[in-house]
C-alpha cells in the first residue's frame, strides 16, 4: 500500500508548544526576559497573567467559526502545537507541568499501567477506582506549576479527582459551580495580588463530543467567546489574558472502524482511544501485526510501532523505560475522520467529535493574548 499523502504532525516540543507556556510564565526572570518569541506580546508588559484553557478548541475549528468568536478573534496570537497523543489527560498534564508526555508519563486517555488499562481522567480500571493501587503522585511524580502554589479556577466537582491530584496537586483550588463565575473568581485572585491564575473550562470539548459540529457547537463557541469577553471586562488593568487549548476536534460521526477478529486475535490488550488506538502484543509479533494492520487500515490511519515513535520523538526526546512500558506496541493513528472501536472504550453514547491523532485539526491549538487597559 502506498504511503498516505498527509503526514503526522509530530509536536515541536522545543518550539511553540503548550508545554512551554507555564515555564515561560513562572520562571525566575521577568516575563519580558523569558517570554519566547511565540508568546503573545501582551505578556511582556503585564503585571499579572490569567491563562484560560478552553478544552477542545482547535485552531482549525476557531478559524472555521471565526464569525462566532469576535472576542477571541480580537486577540493577538497564533497557532501552536499541543502534544501527542492529542488528548485531554496528556495535554493538560503537559500544560501544568511544563513537561513532555514522555517526561510526565500520562501518555494517553486509557493507559497501560502495571497490567491494567487505566482510564486516566476517571483514574479507574473499569468501574473500580484505583487511587490506592496506582497513587496519582507516583504515576505522575512531577510537581505542577514548577512547584509554585497557583490559584486554579476550575469546576468544583473536579477538584478531588485522581487526575486532578496528578496534574494539579499543590495548587490553591478555586472551584466554580457555573462558568459565569470564572471571570469573577479570576479577577478576585488578581485583585488579591496573585500574579498568575490558571482557569479551565471544558464546555467546547463536551458539546463537540456529544453533538458534533452544528448549531449546538456554534452556541457553545458563542458562549465561550462571551466568557472571554467577561474576563476582559472583569480583569484589572495591566493583566494579560492568555487563551489556549489542549487539542482540537475531528467530526467522526458514525464512521467507526471495527478491526477484524483475525487481527484482534494477535492483540493481547488495547489502550489509548479511538483515534490513537494502541495494540499490545507479544514482542515476536510486533512486525507482523504492524504489517497486517497497515494492509487492513493503512487507507485511513498511520500504522506506527512504538519503536518508530520513540525514534521520531512523538512524546519528546526523553521517555524513560518505565514510561515506555505504558505505551502499546503498534498504534493506529487515524488521518481520515474515523475512529477505531474497542468494546472496553465505549460509553453510554457514541462520541461524534473525537481527537487523539496527529492531524492539523487535532494538533494545532490557539495561543491568544490581550493586555487589559
List pLDDT tens digits, range 209-239.
Answer: 999 999 999 999 999 999 999 999 999 999 9
Query: Given this model, what pLDDT does residue 27 score?
Result: 81
* Residue 205 near residue 356 (C-beta atoms within 8 A): no
Q: Is residue 4 in a domain?
A: no
142 and 156, same domain (yes or no): yes
User: Would you say residue 163 has pLDDT above 90?
Assistant: yes
Name the 3-class secondary structure at 340. strand
Average pLDDT, the chain: 95
Q: Is residue 3 in a domain?
A: no
Query: Given this model, what pLDDT does residue 205 score?
Result: 98
263 and 241, same domain (yes or no): no
94 and 171, same domain (yes or no): yes
How remote is the C-alpha of 319 from its chain's centroid? 18
User: Would you say residue 95 has pLDDT above 60?
Assistant: yes
Query: Given this model, what pLDDT does residue 75 score?
Result: 98
291 and 367, same domain (yes or no): no
103 and 161, same domain (yes or no): yes
Cβ-in-10-Å burial (0-12, 13-18, 19+) of 158 comes to middle
- Strand (E) or helix (H) holding 33: helix 31-34
User: Would you say residue 157 has pLDDT above 90?
Assistant: no
Q: Is residue 211 in a domain?
A: yes
Average pLDDT rounded to a whole number, residues 310-321:
97
227 and 300, same domain (yes or no): no
CATH code, domain with 177: 3.40.720.10
Beta bridge partners of 256: 339
Name the 3-class secondary structure at 60. helix
| Interval 343-373: pLDDT, tens | 888 766 689 999 999 999 999 999 999 999 9
104 and 127, same domain (yes or no): yes
Enclosing domain of residue 366: 18-251+358-371
Average pLDDT rounded to a whole number, residues 184-208:
97
Q: Is residue 223 in a domain?
A: yes
Q: Is residue 40 in a domain?
A: yes
* Residue 137 near residue 114 (C-beta atoms within 8 A): no
Average pLDDT rounded to a whole number, residues 145-161:
94
Average pLDDT rounded to a whole number, residues 171-188:
96
79 and 169, same domain (yes or no): yes
342's grid cell = 474497542
| Interval 254-300: pLDDT, tens | 999 999 999 999 999 999 999 999 999 999 999 999 999 999 999 99
329 and 237, same domain (yes or no): no
Q: How far is CA 238 from CA 42, 66, 88, 132, 206, in A?
A: 9, 27, 31, 44, 32
Q: Is residue 226 in a domain?
A: yes
CA distance linking residue 340 with residue 357, whole number of Å: 11
Among the residue ranges 154-158, 195-199, 262-266, the one predicted with the least confidence is 154-158
Q: What angle do CA 44, 46, 47 make, to 5 degrees?
A: 135
Q: Is residue 52 in a domain?
A: yes
CATH code, domain with 349: 3.30.1360.180
164 and 49, same domain (yes or no): yes
| Interval 33-82: pLDDT, tens | 778 999 999 999 899 999 999 999 999 999 999 999 999 999 999 999 99
Cβ-in-10-Å burial (0-12, 13-18, 19+) of 32 comes to exposed
Task: Count how many domains the chain has.
Answer: 2
User: Would you say residue 190 has pLDDT above 90?
Assistant: yes
Average pLDDT rounded to a whole number, residues 190-194:
97
Please count the CA atoms within 13 angstroms of the CA of 144 that sit on its side-chain side. Answer: 24
13's grid cell = 516540543
Query: Given this model, what pLDDT does residue 3 score?
Result: 66
* Residue 315 near residue 280 (C-beta atoms within 8 A): no
Q: Is residue 175 in a domain?
A: yes
| Interval 34-44: pLDDT, tens | 789 999 999 99
Query: Given this model, what pLDDT does residue 28 score?
Result: 73
CA distance linking residue 2 with residue 10, whole number of Å: 20
CA distance linking residue 370 with residue 52, whole number of Å: 12
230 and 288, same domain (yes or no): no
CA-closest candidate to residue 367, choices 51, 100, 82, 79: 79
112 and 157, same domain (yes or no): yes
Amino acid at each position: 500500500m502506498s504511503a498516505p499523502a498527509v503526514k503526522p504532525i509530530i509536536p515541536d516540543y522545543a518550539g511553540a508548544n503548550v508545554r512551554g507556556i507555564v515555564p515561560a510564565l513562572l520562571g525566575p526572570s521577568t516575563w519580558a526576559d523569558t517570554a519566547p518569541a511565540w508568546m503573545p506580546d501582551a505578556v511582556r508588559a503585564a503585571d499579572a497573567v490569567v491563562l484560560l484553557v478552553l478544552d477542545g478548541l482547535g485552531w482549525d475549528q476557531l478559524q472555521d467559526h471565526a464569525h462566532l468568536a469576535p472576542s477571541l478573534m480580537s486577540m493577538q496570537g497564533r497557532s501552536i502545537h499541543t502534544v501527542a497523543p492529542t488528548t485531554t489527560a496528556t495535554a493538560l498534564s503537559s500544560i501544568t507541568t511544563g513537561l513532555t508526555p514522555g517526561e510526565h508519563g500520562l501518555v494517553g486517555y486509557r493507559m497501560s499501567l502495571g497490567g491494567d488499562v487505566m482510564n486516566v481522567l476517571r483514574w479507574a480500571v473499569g468501574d473500580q477506582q484505583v487511587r490506592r493501587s496506582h497513587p496519582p503522585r507516583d504515576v505522575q511524580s512531577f510537581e505542577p506549576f514548577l512547584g509554585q502554589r497557583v490559584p486554579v479556577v476550575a469546576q468544583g466537582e473536579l477538584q478531588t479527582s485522581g487526575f486532578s491530584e496528578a496534574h494539579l496537586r499543590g495548587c490553591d483550588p478555586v472551584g466554580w459551580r457555573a462558568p459565569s463565575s470564572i471571570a469573577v473568581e479570576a479577577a478576585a485572585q488578581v485583585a488579591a495580588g496573585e500574579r498568575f491564575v490558571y482557569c479551565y473550562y471544558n464546555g467546547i470539548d463536551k458539546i463537540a463530543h456529544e453533538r458534533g459540529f452544528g448549531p449546538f457547537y456554534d452556541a457553545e463557541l458563542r458562549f465561550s467567546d462571551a466568557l472571554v469577553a467577561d474576563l476582559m471586562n472583569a480583569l484589572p488593568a495591566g493583566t494579560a489574558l492568555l487563551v489556549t487549548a489542549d487539542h482540537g476536534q475531528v467530526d467522526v460521526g458514525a464512521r467507526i472502524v471495527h478491526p477484524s477478529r483475525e487481527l484482534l486475535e494477535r492483540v493481547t490488550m488495547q489502550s489509548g482511544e479511538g483515534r490513537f488506538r494502541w495494540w499490545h502484543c507479544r514482542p515476536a509479533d510486533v512486525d507482523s501485526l504492524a504489517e497486517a494492520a497497515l494492509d487492513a487500515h493503512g487507507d485511513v490511519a498511520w500504522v506506527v510501532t512504538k519503536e518508530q515513535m520513540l525514534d521520531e520523538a512523538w512524546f519528546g526526546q526523553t521517555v524513560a523505560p518505565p514510561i515506555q512500558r505504558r505505551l502499546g506496541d503498534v498504534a493506529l493513528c487515524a488521518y481520515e475522520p474515523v475512529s477505531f472501536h474497542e468494546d472496553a472504550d465505549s460509553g453510554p453514547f457514541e462520541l461524534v467529535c473525537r481527537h487523539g491523532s496527529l492531524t492539523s485539526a487535532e494538533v494545532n491549538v490557539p495561543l491568544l493574548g490581550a493586555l487589559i487597559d
